[in-house]
Structure 1
Amino acid sequence: MTGIAFRELSPVSFLERAAAVFADRPAVVDGERRDTYAQLWQRAQRLAGLLAARGVEPGDRVAVLSPNTHLLLEAHYGVPLAGAVLVALNTRLAPAEISYILEHSGASLVLVDAEHRDALGEQPIPVIDSESYDELVDGAEPHRVEVADERSLLSINYTSGTTGRPKGVMYHHRGAYLQALAMAYHAKLDTSSQYLWTLPMFHTNGWCFPWAVTAAGGVHHCLRKVDPGAIWRAITEEGITHFCAAPTVLSMLAEHPEARDLDHVLRVFAGGAPPWPALLARMGELGFDIRHLYGLTETFGPAVVCEWQPEWDAADAQHRARLIARQGIGNVVAEPVRVTDPDGEDVPADGLTPGEILLRGNNVMLGYYRDPEATDNATTDGWFRSGDLGVRHPDGYVELRDRMKDVIISGGENITSIEVENALTAHPDVLEAAVVAAPDEKWGEVPVAFVSLRETGGASEAELVEFVRTRIAAFKAPKRIVFGDLPKTSTGKLQKNVLRNKAVSG
């Protein structure tokens, strides 16, 4: 009976199905390249054959260093089809960091985009670059290794390593399969969807959208780098209907000279950092349908989604922006989110009492690769500890207050950086803001703000401090404001660790 009632889950099966039912439909747009789903399935199987011919065996790790091109998309299928484990590398890492990950993961082969070949340096393992990749794949024999255990290793995603060596987060086939379905469901993907790859596929496997878009039979539009002009052109010329992005990318789009009101529905998943209400209101004015997500590398990307409720339609624009700025509820395949106090008890759902956000379920990692101590430290009583501070509202929606390490303790009072940032970005001259702690002899710590102004903005430090004091308690206002561009990661997240170092050094 088991044979007909159960099959090991793997996201690779989405492509097999798409090749059968959407064979001649477009699957991939990458520059001048156009592939159908039948062609993508053939290429994925031939990539698996190429890897096997180069000595890759089931369980081996295959690393990929590439921007969002068809090479990296195909690797999300071809590598697991070979029975191997995908290790997608951040293209902005330094050569030493890449070497560490290759050594730590035990990668046996690297696929690399020619533009990033120098970042690899001299490696003791085989390398296939994009200049020969297509020809080699076309000449390979199709190959497939069946998944014997859905909880076996599918990919390893390395964290940014801002506070030490990056950790390898282990994803399993079952989790990726279910998370992909959750993303397809919440994003309302279907065969008419035109998905633009603004989010790096190397970042938590692109929040599982390499598999989600395929499951829905939509079109993958590859984008080598985030460029607001290119994004606006894709929206206009290609009819893009979906993309994912950090709030800073949305800010770039809203401020770009080509920004215009949309003439079709465009759904955006925003995550990586809490979007500020003023930005959400601006994007809403342009016609973007924003959905706020929350998650971590350890949770296959977005484990929590701010699910829209029709009753919110009657609210005014500013109130709606505050509602959708919340992180929300567990996605359709996740377990309910908990917010707990230091004793492990759930905090009251009053929207005020803070606690640590805990998660568990099928879309949580197996653990950290070759690091059982870190795995133990990140879990408690069967729950993953996010390290994020949040509150639960009476309607059950969770709202992030801060990273626990980012809470500023000034004179015994807790100040959450997000609250101060939201107050700053409500000023019409402010484009972006980041608030961190700086040491202070009297108060222990005080908030320092780093602010990027709009081109037309001319607000002074005194003006902004006074503006913040009219919106939140005066002691929470920044004691110093530094103007200028804010440092960001390749995914558009603010690098608060860099700003903290600046604040400490003065």
Structure 2
Amino acid sequence: MNMPLVLPQFLDRAVALYGEKDAVHCEERVFTYRQLNNRVNQLSRGLRELGIGKEDRVAYLAGNSLEMLEGFYGVFQIGAVMVPLNIRLKPEDYVFILNHSEAKVLFVDQDLYGLIKPVIDQFETVKHIIVHYKDQETLETGYDDWLATYSSDAFDRAELDENDVCSLLYTSGTTGDPKGVMLTHRNNYLHALSTMHHLRVTDSDVYLHVLPMFHVNGWGSPFYYTANGATHICSRKSTPESIFKALQEHKVSILHMAPTVLNALLLYHDQHHPVINQDIRVVIAGSAPPPAFIVRVEEELGWEFIQVYGMTESSPLSLISTIHSHLTGLSKNEQTELKAKAGFSMIGSDVRIVDENGVEVAHDGKQVGEVAVRSHGVMKGYWKNDHATEQALQNGRLLTGDMGTIDENGYINIVDRKKDVIISGGENISSIEVEGVLYEHPAVLEAAVIAVPHEKWGETPHAYIVLREHRNATEQEIIAFCKQKLAHFKVVTSITFVNELPKTASGKIQKVQIRDAYWEAQGITGRLVN
């Protein structure tokens, strides 16, 4: 008899094989897999008592905590749908998402309660708000006391189908209202099987949750680390100091994050020189890192650098940039160049670069097209948005909006977002390529390149730069540096020095926000070209 691919099976396996092993450490609390399962059963009973059943939406506004981790399984085994909320949104964003998703219950961390307090009276469907780490400042139900009233005995689960939606994930909404991405049990299950293989996840791993669990289900980390009986290390707030402390105390073996977060760890390491004795794999996605960045990670930190690529609509990961065995004879510099690419298709994914007619481009590493994904992870569609679904899913593939090339070995290189390509005098310029050169300058900590208007060329590259602490560089010096490494038309024509760049909750630089602010300041309502 065929077994449906549903996510509670991962926790079942962990309990059966690793029941007495540490499942999660969270701020001085330690729970085995059996104890975690008991709490999950209590949560499911509590939700059912609140009237939550199959297909109902349950929202979470929380950091990386035990409560967030157990929330996935407690929600899933009653057949309900998890709606993780980005903790960096505005109150009005929560109103839209909660009302649009028709969420009936909202779990919120006490430290984040202030984000929703001003707008609670605007929630149309939320009937219950339950607060993690409750103190006396709120009148809402406290999670711990509420959970303790329910039995931890084996739970009579709802009948689950692998094609049931289990995750409703809202995109950033940079070009309008956020869109709710519907992922099924099957999407997440098969994505977990593929990812655990490519990341070499085993029961000896200790995983530190740096990447937010609300960000595309933490790239699925609550699923494949649990399935393998690995140990989760959770902290509601992460700083470079706390991350290095956790690495030392828990002998962490693997962690996921955005390049900007890793950059902060490199800076902290330069200043404080923490000693890490164990082997560590660091998994990066969000924006293409320059090769020089990878060299620093592997030589200064001694960590294995693994680049991945994906998007919410594909569960999310579909590419990985490790080195094929038949390419290990390449020079170190050549291998680093490959690691800096988005990578090759993961098992279960068929990622192609296609032209405007949907025809696959040549595998020459030169011809640019759009990244199109066909995989087990591609979403069911956007919640209550058929038009957007039809635009994203065409000819059996997910059109990502990313532009890239593919080489003879199948490695895909992202050259830019479709909307971020700079067109100067008829020439296409990859902002990512220019940023890669800027990162090679010893004074540059962070960089973002956008298109700005130019009377003669239409557009030229403009850089926003954050300098390293105690380092100085002038606009003229950095432009001269770029001229040594780039074709003349790709060189930045102007620079704005800033103290910080706006980022998403996962640490990805928000180039759209930077570009829109620049153009608005210039009194221009839209880009002149493209």
* Structure 1 length-normalised TM: 0.96
Question: Do 1:68 and 1:201's aligned partners in 2 also have CA atoms closer than 8 Å?
Answer: yes
User: How much does 1:417 deviate?
Assistant: 0.2
In the alignment, what sits opposite 2:411? 397
User: How much does 1:315 deviate?
Assistant: 4.3
- Kindly provide the CA deviation profile for residues 228-286 of structure 1, in whole angstroms up to 9, marking residues without a partner as x: 11111111121111110000011001111234464221001100111221111100102
**Identity across the alignment (%):** 39
Q: 1:184 aligns with which of 182, 190, 196?
A: 196
Cα distance in structure 2, aligned partners of 1:144 and 1:475:
65
- Kindly provide the CA deviation profile for residues 58-113 of structure 1, in whole angstroms up to 9, marking residues without a partner as x: 11000011011111101110001111100011111111101110000000111111
Question: Bigger CA drift: 360-369 or 254-263?
Answer: 254-263
User: How much does 1:314 deviate?
Assistant: 4.5
Q: 2:503 aligns with which of 475, 479, 488?
A: 488
Residue 176 of structure 1 aligns with an amino acid whose one-letter code is N
Q: 1:135 aligns with which of 145, 152, 170?
A: 145
Residue 245 of structure 1 aligns with an amino acid whose one-letter code is M
Q: Does 1:245 align with 2:257?
A: yes
Q: Does 1:28 align with 2:24?
A: yes
- Kindly provide the CA deviation profile for residues 144-187 of structure 1, in whole angstroms up to 9, marking residues without a partner as x: 43443201111100001111100000010011111112222122
- Kindly provide the CA deviation profile for residues 294-315 of structure 1, in whole angstroms up to 9, marking residues without a partner as x: 0001011211111322455454
Gaps spanning 5+ residues in structure 1: where?
none
Partner secondary structure for residue 272 of structure 2: coil
User: How much does 1:44 deviate?
Assistant: 0.9
In the alignment, what sits opposite 2:139? none
Q: 1:87 aligns with which of 83, 89, 92?
A: 83
User: How much does 1:459 deviate?
Assistant: 1.9
Residue 435 of structure 1 aligns with an amino acid whose one-letter code is V
Partner secondary structure for residue 337 of structure 1: strand
Cα distance in structure 1, aligned partners of 2:329 and 2:413:
21
Q: Does 1:53 align with 2:53?
A: no
User: How much does 1:441 deviate?
Assistant: 2.3
Question: Do 1:391 and 1:398's aligned partners in 2 also have CA atoms closer than 8 Å?
Answer: yes
Partner secondary structure for residue 508 of structure 2: coil
Distance change (3 Å), C-alpha of 1:460 and 1:313? farther
- Kindly provide the CA deviation profile for residues 210-235 of structure 1, in whole angstroms up to 9, marking residues without a partner as x: 01110110111002123111111111
In the alignment, what sits opposite 1:277? 291
Q: Does 1:200 align with 2:215?
A: no
Gaps spanning 5+ residues in structure 2: where?
135-141, 523-530
Cα distance in structure 2, aligned partners of 1:25 and 1:398:
40
In the alignment, what sits opposite 2:525? none
* Structure 2 length-normalised TM: 0.92
Q: 1:73 aligns with which of 69, 76, 83?
A: 69
Residue 231 of structure 2 aligns with an amino acid whose one-letter code is V
- Kindly provide the CA deviation profile for residues 345-401 of structure 1, in whole angstroms up to 9, marking residues without a partner as x: 111011111000000121110000000000001121111100000000111111100
Residue 224 of structure 1 aligns with an amino acid whose one-letter code is R
In the alignment, what sits opposite 2:128? 126
Question: Do 2:171 and 2:312's aligned partners in 1 also have CA atoms closer than 8 Å?
Answer: yes
Question: Do 1:292 and 1:327's aligned partners in 2 also have CA atoms closer than 8 Å?
Answer: yes
* CA RMSD between the two structures: 1.4
In the alignment, what sits opposite 2:225? 213
Residue 403 of structure 1 aligns with an amino acid whose one-letter code is R
Cα distance in structure 2, aligned partners of 1:435 and 1:326:
19
In the alignment, what sits opposite 1:427? 441
Matching of residues 32-431 of structure 1 within 5 Å: 32-121=28-117, 122=120, 123=123, 124-130=126-132, 131=134, 132-141=142-151, 142=153, 143-256=155-268, 257-260=271-274, 262-285=276-299, 286-334=301-349, 336-431=350-445
User: How much does 1:432 deviate?
Assistant: 1.5
Residue 319 of structure 1 aligns with an amino acid whose one-letter code is E
Distance change (3 Å), C-alpha of 1:85 and 1:104? same
- Kindly provide the CA deviation profile for residues 394-427 of structure 1, in whole angstroms up to 9, marking residues without a partner as x: 1111110000000001111100100100111111
Question: Do 2:25 and 2:31's aligned partners in 1 also have CA atoms closer than 8 Å?
Answer: yes
- Kindly provide the CA deviation profile for residues 24-78 of structure 1, in whole angstroms up to 9, marking residues without a partner as x: 0000100011000001111111111100001111110000110111111011100
Question: Do 2:79 and 2:160's aligned partners in 1 also have CA atoms closer than 8 Å?
Answer: no
Partner secondary structure for residue 467 of structure 1: helix
Cα distance in structure 2, aligned partners of 1:333 and 1:209:
18
Question: Do 2:188 and 2:377's aligned partners in 1 also have CA atoms closer than 8 Å?
Answer: yes
Question: Do 1:49 and 1:144's aligned partners in 2 also have CA atoms closer than 8 Å?
Answer: no
Question: Do 2:6 and 2:160's aligned partners in 1 also have CA atoms closer than 8 Å?
Answer: no
Question: Do 1:10 and 1:147's aligned partners in 2 also have CA atoms closer than 8 Å?
Answer: no
How many correspondences in the alignment? 501
Q: Does 1:472 align with 2:486?
A: yes
Question: Do 1:429 and 1:458's aligned partners in 2 also have CA atoms closer than 8 Å?
Answer: yes
Residue 154 of structure 1 aligns with an amino acid whose one-letter code is C
Q: Does 1:436 align with 2:450?
A: yes
Cα distance in structure 2, aligned partners of 1:92 and 1:147:
35
Partner secondary structure for residue 428 of structure 2: strand
